[in-house]
């Protein structure tokens, strides 16, 4: 995409300005066509999806595989702070933790990214200079997404200008639930354009979409529109990332790659607090999309308290006993 | 694209929780006694290790057991207040739960099934059956056989090796709740969980003779079935043996229920939830290594989505973990016996010879023990033997259909009729097809789901009579006019 989109031209056009990848390049030709395509995706049987997710949750990951899983999970964490009370000091302390999660053990891997509001992206960028840790910023009137497109795009450009190299946008759930799928699509296309070189993660906010059929459709909209990652939640709505939702989203990225050849990343966020939860996700990746996604480039955990539990479990494996919350850092 | 292997380290369930005696006798009249037949060995099919030596019941042993059951029926269990019979059943159910891990490990050792299934399916369901029928014990006037239904007397029960404890529960719980006493013959290759159940009966202080367990092979089973003082025969197993039992019982006063083989159709329509359907296909045929009489062994997939479904299915089968039944991550365990393995091999070879395409994932099988990889046959025609004969192993035959009518016609084109499955997102289609299927159980958008409240049983050569639910009690009761 080389041209700059005029945000005002997009809003109620029946035809998407940028076509998706083949073989899907004609599905956005009209509202009706796009709806027919999305509603023609295979349905999701909720009972079956929940049963499958629960079954994967019974895998028993021990000893060497547990050690590998913990380190892999740490390296996939998007260490996140998204509070109204965030300050440069808080962000700097989070950045320090991102670089060296466990001061007692320098072999601990560093996390994938630090995730903040756009106005603090500059602070994070400066604190993480030269570490290879990404700076992710939420944008597009996060978490509700209820603002004009111009404001959302300005929000994105601002975050990128401040040094974010990953943008976590929210989709317009109102438009989605009203059936205006092409509007949702066009907005993602515009945000992707505004991102420039920054990677775009598209937050579906599955807790507001409710049904797994909706989750599948929203995933496809985000992938067709050029999102680099699809992400479950803002973390501000309950339920956030659940295993059945992740299963359906992983199936979507798997099917999308099979059809188009393009691999899309996946990020569950919110509600993943324990090592056990994280390992269940790794098992689910392994057995749903395969090891190609077992990499921080393709899978992230949006989390804050998860990291400390991973560190405690890592210490437990190393020393043979559990320590306490004072043996990991508060941030 | 990076690729990092995520290997699961071995996660074996400890077998130290189970104490297997070097030898077992018969459980008659509340005591373990020596059998007068020749003892036989029970083997762990995953390693071929001998687990224990088990007594074989002779005709005389069976006679002793039936007489003990008759005494208990007349003196203790029959006259007992129904609510008190219920208390014993509740107690047994609780003990099964308390000792669930022990039962699960023992079942996996003796049968070869993965611990995930014995732990999450067999044992909890067995306990659920006892809980369910315990509740019925003092409510029999609501079964639908009039205000005073009466028990039949002594039930002779012969059960198969595929779900040793669960089939015991299906047989024993309703019989006891209805006020009968039982003589049960477990399968020759899997007697151990029934013997542990005998211990539970003692622990529950169940009166002597109410449950008698006589181990042995076919001759022992025949002695149970043919004993003149048995009032009711219940059998689960192969159609051939079922047929000979029906002959033996014909002309006697005995009531008979038979739960026999199957060749279930699992119908996947083009509007199915594909990912869940693939799970259901896997669950339908690879659950318990396919040693399931209601297994979805014939996949009927709509021609328009055949390639997509088969590709998904093959990818999914590639993630199944075959190996040590006691490993908590094992999906497919061992084939129960050398004999059964030989039958699976024979029928698979016939399938190939008749022109079907065999597909198996790359998978390493243990050197010792009895193993068969998950197998899918495509290009199967209804005339092929693998589309008609029950294989009773992890072997799926894939056929196609073009219209719902054709699906129904092909699904019903079998000498069996135990179960069937339909996958569609369209409710009206599911109901219409289900109405036309001649099968005892029809699952919609799921497969191999069992519940004590739900009757289970077959059409045609899959047998007659129902187990489970209120219907299951009717098989052990007689109304005022009988």
Residue by residue, DSSP assigns A55-101 as HHTT----HHHHHHHHHHHHHTEEEE---TT--HHHHHHHHHHHH-S
pLDDT score recorded for residue B206: 98
CA distance B331 to chain A (A): 10
Q: Cβ–Cβ of A42/B6 closer than 8 Å?
A: no
In chain B, residues with a C-beta closer than 8 Å to the C-beta of A42 are: 272-275
Calpha distance A159→A116 (Å, rounded) = 10
Tokens of A99: 């670089």
A52, A61, A251 ranked by CB distance to B8: nearest: A61
Tokens of B103: 């039962």
- Mean per-residue pLDDT, B215-239: 97
Look at residue A4 and give its three-state secondary structure: coil
pLDDT score recorded for residue B2: 44
Q: Cβ–Cβ of A60/B445 closer than 8 Å?
A: no
Q: Cβ–Cβ of A51/B9 closer than 8 Å?
A: no
Reference B258, options B274, B240, B275, B271; nearest CA is B240
B116, B319, B446 ranked by CB distance to A287: nearest: B319
Look at residue B251 and give its three-state secondary structure: coil
Calpha distance B169→B106 (Å, rounded) = 16
Across chain A, what does the average pLDDT equal? 94
Q: Cβ–Cβ of B279/A52 closer than 8 Å?
A: yes
pLDDT score recorded for residue A4: 47
Q: By percentage, how much of chain B surpasses pLDDT 70?
A: 99
Q: Cβ–Cβ of B275/A49 closer than 8 Å?
A: yes
Q: Cβ–Cβ of B1/A263 closer than 8 Å?
A: yes
DSSP annotation of B454: S
If you measure CA to CA, which chain B residue comes closest to A262?
B1
B6, B275, B329 ranked by CB distance to A291: nearest: B6
pLDDT in tens, B313-344: 999 999 999 999 999 999 999 999 999 999 99
Q: Cβ–Cβ of A66/B9 closer than 8 Å?
A: yes
pLDDT score recorded for residue B26: 98
Backbone angles phi and psi of B181, in degrees to 5: -115, 160
Beta partners for residue B478, in sequence order = B150
| Mutation choice for A interface testing from B3, B9, B325 by most A CBs within 10 A | B9
pLDDT in tens, A258-298: 999 999 999 999 999 999 999 999 999 999 999 999 999 99
- Mean per-residue pLDDT, B121-145: 97
pLDDT score recorded for residue A1: 39
- Mean per-residue pLDDT, A177-205: 97
Reported confidence tier of residue A324, pLDDT bands at 50, 70, 90 = confident
**Concatenated DSSP letters of A241-302:** S-HHHHHHHHHHHHHHHHHHS---EEE-BSS--SHHHHHHHHHHHHHHT-GGG-STTTB-EE
Residue with tokens 């939702």: A245
Calpha distance B301→B258 (Å, rounded) = 30
**Cα within 13 Å of Cα(B310), Cβ side:** 23
Tokens of B93: 């159910």
Polymer length in residues for chain B: 482
Q: Cβ–Cβ of B6/A295 closer than 8 Å?
A: no
Give Cα separations from A305 to A205, A263, A269, B382 (angstroms): 20, 29, 12, 57
**Concatenated DSSP letters of A161-204:** HTT-SEEEEE--HHHHHTT-HHHHHHHHHHHHHHHTTSEEEEE-
Give Cα separations from B286 to B305, B351, B375 (angstroms): 22, 18, 9
Tokens of B12: 């074996």
Reported confidence tier of residue A10, pLDDT bands at 50, 70, 90 = very low
Say if residues B190 and B110 touch (Cβ distance below 8 Å): yes
Reference B27, options B212, B168, B270; nearest CA is B212
Q: How many beta-carbon pairs below 8 A join chains A and B?
A: 80
Q: Is the pLDDT of residue A13 over 70?
A: no
A43, A45, A60 ranked by CB distance to B329: nearest: A60
Say if residues B52 and B19 touch (Cβ distance below 8 Å): no
CA distance B276 to chain A (A): 5
**Concatenated DSSP letters of B153-211:** SEEEEE--SSSHHHHHHHHHHHHHHTT-EEEEE--TT--HHHHHHHHHHHHTTPPTTSE
Angle, alpha carbons A16-A21-A24 (nearest 5°): 75
Mind telling me the catalytic residues of A?
A: 168, 231, 267
The sign of the torsion formed by the CA atoms of B300, B304, B307, B312 equals negative
In chain A, residues with a C-beta closer than 8 Å to the C-beta of B330 are: none
pLDDT score recorded for residue B349: 98
pLDDT in tens, A137-156: 999 999 999 999 999 999 99
Calpha distance B109→B165 (Å, rounded) = 13
Q: Hey, what CATH class is A31-322 in?
A: alpha beta
Neighbours of B3 (CB within 10 A): 10
pLDDT score recorded for residue B5: 83
Calpha distance B111→B44 (Å, rounded) = 7
If you measure CA to CA, which chain A residue comes closest to B274?
A42
Say if residues A272 and A303 touch (Cβ distance below 8 Å): yes
User: Hey, where are the domains in chain A?
Assistant: 31-322
pLDDT score recorded for residue B482: 76
CA distance B449 to chain A (A): 12
Reference B102, options B14, B191, B212; nearest CA is B14
Reported confidence tier of residue B66, pLDDT bands at 50, 70, 90 = very high
- Mean per-residue pLDDT, A313-329: 92
Reference A303, options A240, A210, A219; nearest CA is A240
Q: Which of these is catalytic: B201, B269, B293, B294? A: B293
B271, B273, B329 ranked by CB distance to A44: nearest: B273
In chain A, residues with a C-beta closer than 8 Å to the C-beta of B287 are: none
pLDDT score recorded for residue A15: 61
- Mean per-residue pLDDT, B418-441: 98
What is the pairing mode between strands A265-267 and A199-203?
A: unpaired
Q: Cβ–Cβ of B275/A297 closer than 8 Å?
A: no
pLDDT score recorded for residue B4: 58
Q: Cβ–Cβ of A48/B273 closer than 8 Å?
A: yes
In chain B, residues with a C-beta closer than 8 Å to the C-beta of A49 are: 275-276
pLDDT in tens, A69-85: 999 999 999 999 999 99
Q: Cβ–Cβ of A43/B11 closer than 8 Å?
A: no
In chain B, residues with a C-beta closer than 8 Å to the C-beta of A297 are: 2
Calpha distance B117→B108 (Å, rounded) = 9
CA distance A281 to chain B (A): 12
Across chain B, what does the average pLDDT equal? 97
Calpha distance B213→B431 (Å, rounded) = 43
DSSP annotation of B326: T
pLDDT in tens, B330-387: 999 999 999 999 999 999 999 999 999 999 999 899 999 999 999 999 999 999 999 9
Calpha distance B4→A290 (Å, rounded) = 9
What is the pairing mode between strands B477-478 and B150-151?
A: antiparallel
If you measure CA to CA, which chain B residue comes closest to A279?
B6
pLDDT score recorded for residue B480: 80
Calpha distance A164→B192 (Å, rounded) = 64
C-alpha gyration radius of chain A: 19
Calpha distance B293→B242 (Å, rounded) = 13
**Concatenated DSSP letters of B363-406:** -PPPSSS-----EEEES--TTSGGGTS---SSEEEEEEESSHHH
Residue with tokens 């099968």: B439
Calpha distance A174→B409 (Å, rounded) = 47
**Cα within 13 Å of Cα(A153), Cβ side:** 19
């Amino acid at each position: 995409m080389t041209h700059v989109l005029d945000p005002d031209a997009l809003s109620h056009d029946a035809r998407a300005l940028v076509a998706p990848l083949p073989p899907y390049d004609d599905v956005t030709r009209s509202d009706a066509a796009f709806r027919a395509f999305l509603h023609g995706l295979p349905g999701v049987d909720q009972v079956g999806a929940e049963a499958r997710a629960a079954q994967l949750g019974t895998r028993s990951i021990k000893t060497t595989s547990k050690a590998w899983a913990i380190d892999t999970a740490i390296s996939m964490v998007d260490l996140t702070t998204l509070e109204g009370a965030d300050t440069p000091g808080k962000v700097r302390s989070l950045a320090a933790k991102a670089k060296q999660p466990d001061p007692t053990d320098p072999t601990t891997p560093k996390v994938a990214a630090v995730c903040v509001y756009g106005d603090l992206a500059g602070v994070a960028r400066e604190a993480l200079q030269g570490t290879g840790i990404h700076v992710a910023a939420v944008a597009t009137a996060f978490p509700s997404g209820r603002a004009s497109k111009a404001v959302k795009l300005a929000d994105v450009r601002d975050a990128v200008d401040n040094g974010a190299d990953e943008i976590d946008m929210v989709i317009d759930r109102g438009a989605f639930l009203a059936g205006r799928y092409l509007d949702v699509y066009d907005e993602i296309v515009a945000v992707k354009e505004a991102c420039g070189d920054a990677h775009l993660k598209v937050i579906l906010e599955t807790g507001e979409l409710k049904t797994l059929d909706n989750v599948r459709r929203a995933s496809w909209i985000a992938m067709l529109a050029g999102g680099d990652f699809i992400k479950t939640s803002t973390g501000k709505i309950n339920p956030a990332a659940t295993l059945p939702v992740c299963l359906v989203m992983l199936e979507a990225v798997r099917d999308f790659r099979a059809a188009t050849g393009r691999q899309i990343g996946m990020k569950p966020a919110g509600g993943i607090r324990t090592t056990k939860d994280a390992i269940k996700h790794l098992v689910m990746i392994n057995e749903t999309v395969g090891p190609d996604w077992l990499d921080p480039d393709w899978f992230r955990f949006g989390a804050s308290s998860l990291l400390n539990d991973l560190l405690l479990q890592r210490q437990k494996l190393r020393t043979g006993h559990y320590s306490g919350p004072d043996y990991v850092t508060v941030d | 694209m990076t690729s990092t292997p995520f290997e699961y380290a071995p996660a074996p369930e400890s077998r130290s929780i189970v104490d297997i005696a070097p030898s077992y006798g018969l459980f008659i009249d509340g005591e373990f006694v020596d059998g007068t037949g020749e003892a036989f060995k029970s083997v762990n099919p995953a390693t071929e290790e001998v687990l224990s030596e088990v007594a074989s019941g002779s005709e005389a042993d069976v006679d002793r057991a039936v007489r003990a059951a008759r005494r208990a029926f007349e003196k203790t269990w029959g006259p007992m207040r129904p609510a008190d019979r219920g208390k014993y059943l509740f107690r047994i159910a609780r003990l099964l739960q308390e000792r669930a891990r022990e039962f699960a490990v023992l079942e996996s050792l003796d049968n070869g099934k993965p611990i995930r299934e014995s732990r999450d399916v067999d044992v909890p369901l067995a306990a659920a059956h006892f809980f369910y029928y315990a509740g019925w014990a003092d409510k029999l006037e609501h079964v639908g056989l009039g205000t005073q239904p009466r028990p039949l007397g002594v039930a002779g029960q012969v059960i198969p090796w595929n779900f040793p404890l669960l089939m015991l529960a299906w047989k024993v719980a309703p019989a006891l709740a209805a006020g009968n006493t039982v003589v049960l013959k477990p399968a020759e290759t899997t007697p151990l969980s029934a013997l542990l159940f005998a211990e539970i009966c003692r622990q529950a202080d169940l009166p002597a003779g109410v449950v008698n367990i006589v181990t042995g092979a076919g001759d022992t089973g025949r002695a149970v079935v043919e004993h003149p003082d048995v009032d009711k025969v219940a059998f689960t197993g192969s159609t051939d043996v079922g047929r000979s039992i029906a002959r033996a019982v014909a002309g006697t006063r005995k009531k008979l229920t038979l739960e026999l083989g199957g060749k279930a159709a699992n119908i996947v329509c083009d509007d199915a939830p594909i990912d869940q359907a693939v799970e259901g296909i896997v669950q339908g045929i690879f659950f318990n290594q396919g040693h399931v009489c209601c297994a979805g062994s014939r996949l009927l997939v709509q021609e328009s989505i055949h390639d997509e479904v088969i590709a998904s299915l093959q990818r999914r089968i590639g993630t199944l973990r075959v190996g040590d039944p006691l490993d908590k991550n094992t999906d497919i365990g061992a084939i129960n016996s050398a004999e059964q393995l030989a039958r699976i091999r024979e029928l698979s070879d016939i399938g190939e010879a008749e022109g079907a395409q065999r597909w198996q994932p790359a998978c390493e099988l243990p050197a010792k023990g009895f193993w068969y990889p998950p197998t899918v046959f495509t290009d199967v025609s209804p005339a092929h033997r693998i589309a008609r004969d029950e294989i009773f192993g992890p072997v799926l035959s894939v056929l196609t259909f073009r219209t719902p009518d054709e699906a129904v016609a092909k699904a019903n084109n079998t000498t069996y009729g135990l179960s069937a499955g339909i996958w569609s997102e369209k409710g009206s289609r599911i109901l219409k097809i289900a109405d036309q299927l001649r099968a005892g159980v029809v699952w919609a958008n799921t497969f191999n789901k069992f519940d004590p409240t739900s009757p289970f049983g077959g059409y045609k050569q899959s047998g007659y009579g129902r187990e489970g639910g209120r219907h299951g009690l009717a098989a052990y009761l007689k109304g005022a006019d009988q």
